[in-house]
Chains A and B, each alone.
Chain A
Amino acid sequence: MLISKDSPAGAASPFAPILAAASHVILGKDHELRLAAACLLAGGHLLIEDLPGLGKTTLAHTLARLLGLQFARVQFTADLLPADVTGVSIFERRHEPGTSEFRFLPGPIFTQVLLADEINRATPKTQSALLEAMAEGQVSVDGESRALPQPFFVIATQNPASQIGTFALPESQLDRFLIRLTLGYPDRQAERALLAGDGGRQRSETLTPLIEPAQLLAWQAEVRQVHASEPLIDYLQALLAASRQAAAWRHGLSPRAGLALLAAARAWAWLSGRNMVLPDDVQAVFIAVAQHRLLSTSNGQPASSSEIASLLSSVAIP
């Protein structure tokens, strides 16, 4: 049954219990949680742009724990070096002669969920080391490629309020994040519950894994199999074309953005328990996928949600 009003969104998918558990920690942010889950299931990386203290770390931590994934956090600073992220080879001296050798000490990137906090504080060199690892799924140190664990999921955060002494991510790097989110302030009720102690960081420590990492990989494979029909691809293309014709933005959406949109829509459909993508899925993820990829013509800032919403409402579903 497609038209089901009473069941909460995502109830039909096997991921539902995880989302339900997470929503007890991250209060009142069901839509954002679901977008984060879709990003994870589509095998993409997540960029969260928000002020400090709004639960970015908690979100990353909660997802990692519930999915039984390793979790690491790197606070990016201006003096952080690429090796601080990827790891370094050291020469280990042993007592027995001839056994001394270089040993690779893996950096914090060798984890399954990496929280890259305030990524725009680091220098472009360090940023690109991380972003390359994100794109390739491996790290090259001393001429040796080392595969990262699977699944590998980066949640990077940016603080839009203080831009002094930061290196804004260039457009090409922004494109590597599948979805960009802003959490925003919790609503009154959620905040009250949070203050009452129902949720938050402490609560996330008590969570127990609900699945094995292998299960997540299997789900990701399922998501890739969700059917996208011809009319749906038509709709997707119409959206891409409209973004390229609009005067409000410097450039339209790239083909990579189109792939990202389809992947995110597939994950969203899968989360709704469907094996086919509907225009609704595309519309649901469109703002989160497109917003950081469209830069306004007038000030070079990411497009506003209302501009993107008006683009959505101007493109007819074929």
Chain B
Amino acid sequence: MRRWFKRSALPPPALSRSEPPWLFAVALATTLPHAFTQPFWLTAWAGLCWVWALILWRNDRRLPARWLLLPLALAGALAIRIEFGSFFGREPGVAVLVLFMALKLLEMRQRRDAVVVIMLGYFLLLTHYFEAQDIPTALWMLFALWLVSAALLRLHAGALAVRPVLAQSARLLAQALPLMLIFYLFFPRIPGPLWGLPQDAFSARTGLSESMAPGSIGQLVQNDAIAFRVRFDGPVPPKNRLYWRGPVLTAFDGQRWQSGPVTGGKPVIDAAGEDIAYEMTLEAHGQRWLLALDAPRQLPADARADARLTVLLARPLESRQRFRLSAALDYRFNEEETATSRALNLALPAGFNPRTVALAETWRNTRTPEQIVAAALTHFRTEAFYYTLQPPLLGRDSVDEFLFVSRRGFCEHYAAAFVVLMRAAGIPARVVTGYQGGEINPHDGFLVVRQSDAHAWAEVWLAGRGWVRVDPTAAVAPERIERGLASALPAGEPLPFFMRASNDWLRPLLQRWEALNNAWQQQVLGYDQLRQQALLQRLGLPGGWQTLAWLLAGLSTLGLVLLTTLLLYQKRRTPPEIRLLQHALRRTGVHCAPAESPLALAARLARENPETAQRLAPVIESFVLVRYAPDGREHLATLRAAVAALGRRRTP
């Protein structure tokens, strides 16, 4: 029984001194990009381990004892538990892997440890795609893959210099390229993630939300991240008509605007003119709504428009996705509206904003609704209102203070004040949030809409005309709608970097980069189930996973057949005497090492197996003559005869 538990008598293969630099490189290449996202202490911790291991290696010192590493590992794990609250999930999972990688460098004693580092490296490569799937990430991963594979090669190929190892690794990757392409094109694409990702796989993202308070859009505008990209089938409509409709807010509590209850049935759109068709690539925002161009007509299959004309998806958008939509720019929306809906859009919290209510009351009985709307807009235009990203803080009666005291505000102030005015005057009104405008990237023709294009406007319901869009911001700062935010704001406003006019020299560069990124997203990452099906169709093949399975199997088999043919061809090119010798060796069951010369083989056989040696002697002798004698070819017949004789004399 004790035998079972005995330690192996064979010493484990040790790691040579020239191996660790490769593993340091592997660790660095596979963990470095995580430094941007993981907690700072982890980066510092891993960096210290790395430097420590490097110094120990350089000075040929002993690695730290195991009793020292164990508390280190435990402390690191505990810190991760405290930082993330769990070991499970994407971020703590990656953190644990980084921790392991750093610690493993302090434990490189045997080849086994090096293999662990390399396999961990391969795994860590994958985790970077959680963070980003852009071009720099892809390039870096390719570089890291090259390094890790080179390290693996180096470990098994023995004492080779750096250059041949790297060259061989590059060759291997190049050889894998066709297979990669086949799998990229024909591996069944699954909508949504392939396997369940943990809860925190999608962290909080910037974008519109379902509530609005003074300042919330002003804050969003500071961000120049891209919200979505649009490509119109036809010409791009004028900028002042590009209203991208997001959440509609009806409930006002005096301070915040909230979504409120949605009542009514299907929205009724009475469109004039032709629909404008477009394709939208929406960045993941973790919400259900789409930002459809007002007013949406054709919707994607898995989306519907609710009673307030917000286009909703079945589930929150957790990854960048492409949608096909169309819109009518001239339309009438819900000429009939239910009494409940009208009442909801008239509600105001009691006891707030008395001055505003009083002003509206004066209009209420003397004018028609259209005149009231015009009067309110005239009020904004003629009084000294000021469009700014830095409005003063407002107190309890925020609309009163804004309309009569500060008169400084951003789009949400104007939209909110306008809606309160309308409601107080007896006109159903509500706030619509979304994006306005966008910018054409001259390099690829896509309209790019950023978070900085976020906007809020108002919608009023007029009998006989339905819901009509009114943008009070346009009354105060028409440049905002005509030419964009940067030209509407006075100098010195804290605009996002990308929008500043002084960046004119940088802008084309950034636009070019974004166009490149967009192409990558559209062409490479955007290759989804639909495009896969389209490709199959273009190839004249029926869609469905069966086709894909056949294609994958077929192409792989084809590859194997090609490879076999190539090998056979090479074999054909091997000289006949080598094939004859190999044949003879196979027949006698003799193994010959690649570096074993024929005479050495004969001598070895004579010692180990004299009978076989005697049988093979004529073969080896004539082989040597064919291969090395001055008149080699003349002995080929002798060799053939010797090999043939081998078969005849075979013992039954």
Q: Which residues of A pack against B, CB within 8 Å?
A: 1-3, 5, 227, 229, 231-232, 245-248, 275-280, 283, 312-317
B630: which A residues are within 8 A, CB to CB?
227, 229, 275-276
Bound state CA distance, A246 and B165, in angstroms? 10
Question: Which listed residue (A3, A229, A245, A247) contacts B628, Cβ 8 A?
Answer: A229
B575: which A residues are within 8 A, CB to CB?
231
**Residue in A closest to B606 when the chains form the complex, CB atoms:** A5
Question: Which listed residue (A246, A275, A276, A313) contacts B160, Cβ 8 A?
Answer: A246
Please report which residues of chain B, range 372-428, place their CB below 8 angstroms from some CB of chain A when the two chains form the complex: none
**Contact across chains for B595 and A245 when beta carbons are under 8 A apart:** no
**Residue in A closest to B17 when the chains form the complex, CB atoms:** A298
B632: which A residues are within 8 A, CB to CB?
229
**Residue in A closest to B616 when the chains form the complex, CB atoms:** A3
B595: which A residues are within 8 A, CB to CB?
312-317
Q: A313-B595, A317-B594 are known contacts. Are A278 and B628 too (CB-CB below 8 A)?
A: yes
**Contact across chains for A246 and B599 when beta carbons are under 8 A apart:** no
Q: Please tell me if B89 contacts chain A, counting CB pairs below 8 Å.
A: no
**Contact across chains for A317 and B597 when beta carbons are under 8 A apart:** yes
**Contact across chains for B624 and A245 when beta carbons are under 8 A apart:** no
Bound state CA distance, A313 and B595, in angstroms? 5
**Contact across chains for A232 and B628 when beta carbons are under 8 A apart:** yes
The listed residue with most A CB atoms (<10 A of its CB), out of B595, B602, B625, is B595
B259 to nearest A CB, angstroms?
Answer: 67
A251 to nearest B CB, angstroms?
Answer: 11
Band of interface residues on B? 20 to 34
Q: List 19 A-B contacts (CB under 8 A).
A: A3-B599, A3-B617, A3-B620, A3-B621, A5-B606, A227-B629, A227-B630, A229-B627, A231-B627, A245-B161, A246-B159, A246-B161, A248-B159, A276-B630, A279-B597, A279-B598, A283-B597, A313-B593, A315-B594
Q: Kindly supply a per-residue 1/0 record for chain B positions 155-167, scoring 1 wherever the CB is within 8 Å of any chain A CB and 0 otherwise.
A: 0001111101000
B66 to nearest A CB, angstroms?
Answer: 29
Bound state CA distance, A245 and B594, in angstroms? 18
**Contact across chains for A247 and B603 when beta carbons are under 8 A apart:** no
Bound state CA distance, A70 and B391, in angstroms? 110
Q: Please tell me if B119 contacts chain A, counting CB pairs below 8 Å.
A: no
B162: which A residues are within 8 A, CB to CB?
247
A280: which B residues are within 8 A, CB to CB?
597, 599-600
B593: which A residues are within 8 A, CB to CB?
313
**Residue in B closest to A231 when the chains form the complex, CB atoms:** B627
Bound state CA distance, A292 and B363, in angstroms? 107
B600: which A residues are within 8 A, CB to CB?
280, 283
Closest 8 interchain pairs by CB? A316-B594, A279-B597, A227-B630, A247-B161, A276-B628, A280-B597, A229-B628, A247-B159
A229: which B residues are within 8 A, CB to CB?
627-630, 632
Bound state CA distance, A305 and B302, in angstroms? 74
Q: Which residues of B pack against A, CB within 8 Å?
A: 18, 158-162, 164, 575, 593-600, 602-603, 606, 617, 620-621, 624-625, 627-630, 632
Bound state CA distance, A278 and B625, in angstroms? 10
Bound state CA distance, A232 and B597, in angstroms? 11
The listed residue with most B CB atoms (<10 A of its CB), out of A3, A277, A280, A316, is A3
**Contact across chains for A247 and B597 when beta carbons are under 8 A apart:** no
**Residue in A closest to B617 when the chains form the complex, CB atoms:** A3
**Contact across chains for A5 and B603 when beta carbons are under 8 A apart:** yes
**Contact across chains for A2 and B160 when beta carbons are under 8 A apart:** no
**Contact across chains for B621 and A2 when beta carbons are under 8 A apart:** yes
**Residue in A closest to B158 when the chains form the complex, CB atoms:** A314
A280 to nearest B CB, angstroms?
Answer: 5
**Contact across chains for A277 and B628 when beta carbons are under 8 A apart:** yes
Bound state CA distance, A169 and B132, in angstroms? 59
A5: which B residues are within 8 A, CB to CB?
603, 606
B364 to nearest A CB, angstroms?
Answer: 91
A252 to nearest B CB, angstroms?
Answer: 9
Bound state CA distance, A231 and B629, in angstroms? 11
A317: which B residues are within 8 A, CB to CB?
594-597
Bound state CA distance, A232 and B164, in angstroms? 24
A10 to nearest B CB, angstroms?
Answer: 14
**Residue in B closest to A245 when the chains form the complex, CB atoms:** B164
B593 to nearest A CB, angstroms?
Answer: 7
**Contact across chains for B628 and A227 when beta carbons are under 8 A apart:** yes
B596: which A residues are within 8 A, CB to CB?
317
B77 to nearest A CB, angstroms?
Answer: 37
**Contact across chains for A245 and B160 when beta carbons are under 8 A apart:** yes
Q: Please name 13 further chain A to chain B contacts, defined as beta carbons within 8 Å, in addition to the given A3-B603, A3-B606, sorted by A numbering.
A: A227-B629, A229-B627, A231-B628, A232-B627, A232-B628, A247-B160, A276-B630, A278-B597, A279-B597, A283-B597, A313-B593, A314-B158, A315-B595
Bound state CA distance, A102 and B606, in angstroms? 68
A248: which B residues are within 8 A, CB to CB?
159
B621: which A residues are within 8 A, CB to CB?
1-3
Bound state CA distance, A243 and B384, in angstroms? 86
Bound state CA distance, A248 and B621, in angstroms? 36
B160: which A residues are within 8 A, CB to CB?
245-247
Bound state CA distance, A104 and B21, in angstroms? 61
Q: A227-B629, A229-B628, A229-B629 are known contacts. Are A2 and B599 too (CB-CB below 8 A)?
A: yes
B340 to nearest A CB, angstroms?
Answer: 82
A3: which B residues are within 8 A, CB to CB?
599, 602-603, 606, 617, 620-621
Bound state CA distance, A94 and B161, in angstroms? 68
Q: A227-B629, A276-B629 are known contacts. Are A247 and B18 too (CB-CB below 8 A)?
A: yes
A247: which B residues are within 8 A, CB to CB?
18, 159-162
**Residue in B closest to A313 when the chains form the complex, CB atoms:** B595
B594: which A residues are within 8 A, CB to CB?
315-317
B598: which A residues are within 8 A, CB to CB?
278-279
Bound state CA distance, A245 and B161, in angstroms? 6
A231: which B residues are within 8 A, CB to CB?
575, 627-628
B603: which A residues are within 8 A, CB to CB?
3, 5
A276: which B residues are within 8 A, CB to CB?
628-630
A316: which B residues are within 8 A, CB to CB?
594-595
**Residue in A closest to B593 when the chains form the complex, CB atoms:** A313
B571 to nearest A CB, angstroms?
Answer: 14
**Residue in B closest to A235 when the chains form the complex, CB atoms:** B597
Bound state CA distance, A315 and B595, in angstroms? 6
A278: which B residues are within 8 A, CB to CB?
597-599, 624, 628
**Residue in A closest to B624 when the chains form the complex, CB atoms:** A2
Bound state CA distance, A100 and B300, in angstroms? 118
B533 to nearest A CB, angstroms?
Answer: 49
**Residue in A closest to B630 when the chains form the complex, CB atoms:** A227
**Residue in B closest to A226 when the chains form the complex, CB atoms:** B630
**Residue in B closest to A312 when the chains form the complex, CB atoms:** B595
B476 to nearest A CB, angstroms?
Answer: 73
Bound state CA distance, A66 and B155, in angstroms? 52
A298 to nearest B CB, angstroms?
Answer: 8
B164: which A residues are within 8 A, CB to CB?
245
**Residue in A closest to B605 when the chains form the complex, CB atoms:** A3
Bound state CA distance, A3 and B18, in angstroms? 42
Bound state CA distance, A247 and B625, in angstroms? 36
Bound state CA distance, A232 and B626, in angstroms? 12
B161: which A residues are within 8 A, CB to CB?
245-247
Bound state CA distance, A312 and B594, in angstroms? 10
**Residue in B closest to A311 when the chains form the complex, CB atoms:** B159
A3 to nearest B CB, angstroms?
Answer: 5
A94 to nearest B CB, angstroms?
Answer: 60
A227: which B residues are within 8 A, CB to CB?
628-630
Bound state CA distance, A106 and B594, in angstroms? 53
Bound state CA distance, A288 and B322, in angstroms? 71
**Residue in A closest to B613 when the chains form the complex, CB atoms:** A3
Bound state CA distance, A2 and B575, in angstroms? 22
